[in-house]
Structures are given as C-alpha cells and as structure tokens.
Amino acid sequence: MLGKGTGMKRIGAMVLLLALAGSGAMTATAAAQQMSVAEYQRKSAKDAKKQQKAQKKMAAQQRKAQKRIAKAQKKALKKGQKADAKANRQLQH
C-alpha cells in the first residue's frame, strides 16, 4: 500500500506541474501575439503588395477577356458581312 502523505504529494506535484505548464503556455502565447511596430509595418507592406499584385493580375485577366470578346465580335461581324455579300451576289444573278 501507499504510505501516508504520498497521495497528497502526488496531488501537490500534479498541481505544480499544471501551474508551470500553464504559465509557460501563457507567456509563449502572449509573446507570440505581441507585435512590434516595425513588424506590423512590414506585415502591412507585405499585405499591401500582395493585394496590389492580385489586383494587377485581375486587371490583366479582365483586359485579356475583353480582347477575346472584341475579337469574337469582329469575327462574327466579318462573317455576317461575308454572308450578306454572298446573298447579294446570288440575288443579282
């Protein structure tokens, strides 16, 4: 069997262990959450650059799509004019 006080020693050791682990975790998260002004500025600049790059990419894709649409419209117009010219030639003969 266990001797007198071993249960209390185990409980005390467990409480001490939990207290140390909890305090260590809290200081680690507090340090990780705290950001210096320079780090904040770097992060802001990086995020702004990333957003600007995404906007530039979207604008390029939009220009490309507009070019594609314009080309398709031009092609359709040309095809229609060609069909009209053919129909007019057939009417004249």
Contacts of 20 (CB under 8 A, 6+ apart): none
83 vs 91: CA distance, rounded Å: 12
54 vs 47: CA distance, rounded Å: 11
Higher pLDDT among residues 5 and 13, named by residue: 13
Mean pLDDT, residues 20-31 taken together: 62
23 vs 67: CA distance, rounded Å: 61
- In 3-state terms, what secondary structure has residue 68? helix
Could you read off the pLDDT of 75-91 as tens digits, one per residue? 999 999 999 999 988 88
Same domain, 87 and 66: yes
Q: How many domains is the chain partitioned into structurally?
A: 2
| Domain assignment of residue 46, given as a range | 42-93
Same domain, 46 and 79: yes
Same domain, 27 and 48: no
Same domain, 17 and 51: no
Same domain, 75 and 92: yes
What's the whole-model pTM score?
0.48
